């Protein structure tokens, strides 16, 4: 059996298939960003998935594409955990940007963007992936992402720059103190996912002018810093994956049109497309090996 995983900072989508493409299991787990978790954390969470662990001895290949999985040294955290849990599997841990490129590949070169808890972009021609700038993470980068918008929202609330009626709604929903905020950001794990969680409020109020402008400015920063740096930006389709791109598609299209860019596909959950790509391009190669 083959496990294919789309791993975000917040959650992972798992699909277990047979080499002929027959789906055996579809499930979710928490996100495993290797800079924010230990191998022991990963094992402890996956052991809680008995339906997944029941298939562990039969998994021969595991393809994991995850947020933050940008180097072999960092990826060792996940390789160690998966190797322990799935001892009969060949483990492949790679960057979520590569998974995004595979998921949003529709037969022609395109710029592929991630807009979820974090953000990133690359150019994929079907063979090679090109990045113009490295991901700087949620503190220094991730423009247009859930964590980026969450930071802007929380900052506006505590700096008294949010309209009064929205400030009241925010207080009623979260009753958030500065001490609680700082504890979650500086002392607890997965701070990026915590901050991105404030997008629930943004989504609920996305028709409000203040919120629309917050989303617009965040999307504009994304295009300026992560898309327009590509020489191919004006001549290629730009495909998106991720919940943020899906939920704020209308504003995303508005900003793209202002830059005279061509939007292609917007894929909310890339896991199904990722499986299709592996069935066409990866699994046949695996089956040919002795």
Q: What proportion of the chain, given as a percentage, has pLDDT over 70?
A: 97
Supply the pLDDT for residue 260.
92
Residue whose C-alpha is closest to residue 49's, from 8, 5, 18: 5
Greater pLDDT, 101 or 174? 174
Report the distance separating Cα 223 and Cα 220, nearest Å.
5
Q: Scan for tokens 């998974």, then name that residue.
A: 99
Host H or E run for residue 17: strand 11-17
Model confidence at 216, pLDDT cuts 50, 70, 90, reads very high
User: Does position 251 have pLDDT exceeding 60, yes or no?
Assistant: yes
User: Beta-carbon neighbour count of residue 90 at 10 Å?
Assistant: 14
pLDDT of residue 89: 93
pLDDT exceeds cutoff 70 at 290: no
CATH class of the domain at 2-101+270-288? alpha beta
* Integer CA distances (angstroms), 243 to 114, 236, 281, in order: 9, 22, 26
DSSP string, 107-134: SS-EEEEEESSSEEEEEE-SS-EE-SS-
Domains 2-101+270-288 and 107-267 agree in fold: yes
Return all residues near 114 (Cβ < 8 A) that are at least 6 apart.
Answer: 96, 97, 100, 120, 121, 240, 241, 242
CATH 3.40.50.10420 fits 107-267, yes or no: no
**What's CA 244's distance to the chain center, in Å?**
9
Phi, psi at 265, each rounded to 5°: -95, 145
| pLDDT tens-digit map of 142-163 | 899 999 999 999 999 999 999 9
Q: Find out whether 262 and 110 touch, Cβ atoms under 8 Å.
A: no
The residue ranges of every structural domain in the chain are: 2-101+270-288, 107-267
**Of the candidates 92, 69, 26, the residue with the CA atom closest to the CA atom of residue 269:** 26
Tens-place pLDDT, residues 172-209:
999 999 999 999 999 887 888 899 999 999 999 999 99
CB atoms inside a 10 Å sphere around CB 32: 28
Q: List Cα–Cα distances, 24 to 3, 110, 165, in angstroms.
A: 10, 32, 49
pLDDT tens digits along 9-53: 788 999 999 988 899 999 999 989 888 889 999 999 999 999 999
What is the pTM (predicted TM-score) of this model? Answer: 0.76
């Amino acid at each position: 059996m083959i496990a294919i995983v789309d791993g975000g900072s917040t959650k992972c989508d798992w699909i277990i298939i047979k080499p002929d493409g027959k789906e055996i299991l579809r499930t979710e787990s928490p996100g495993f960003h290797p800079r924010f978790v230990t191998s022991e954390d990963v094992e402890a969470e996956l052991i809680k998935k008995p339906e997944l662990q029941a298939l562990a001895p039969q998994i021969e290949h595991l393809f994991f594409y995850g947020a933050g999985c940008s180097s072999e040294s960092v990826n060792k955290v996940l390789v160690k955990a998966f190797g322990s849990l799935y001892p009969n599997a060949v483990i492949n841990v790679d960057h979520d940007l590569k998974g995004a490129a595979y998921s949003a590949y529709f037969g022609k070169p395109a710029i592929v963007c991630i807009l979820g808890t974090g953000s990133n972009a690359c150019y994929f021609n079907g063979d090679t992936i090109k990045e113009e700038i490295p991901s700087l993470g949620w503190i220094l980068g991730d423009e247009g992402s859930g964590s980026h918008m969450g930071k802007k929202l929380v900052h506006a609330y505590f700096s008294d720059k949010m309209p009064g009626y929205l400030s009241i709604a925010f207080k009623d929903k979260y009753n958030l103190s500065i001490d609680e905020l700082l504890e979650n950001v500086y002392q607890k794990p997965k701070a990026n996912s915590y901050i991105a969680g404030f997008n629930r409020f943004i989504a609920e109020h996305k028709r409000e002018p203040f919120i629309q402008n917050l989303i617009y400015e965040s999307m504009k920063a994304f295009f300026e810093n992560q898309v327009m740096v590509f020489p191919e930006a004006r001549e290629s389709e730009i495909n998106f994956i991720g919940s943020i791109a899906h939920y704020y598609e209308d504003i995303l299209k508005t900003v793209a049109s202002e830059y005279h860019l061509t939007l292609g596909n917007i894929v909310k959950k890339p896991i199904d497309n990722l499986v299709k790509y592996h069935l066409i391009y990866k699994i046949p190669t695996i089956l040919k090996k002795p």
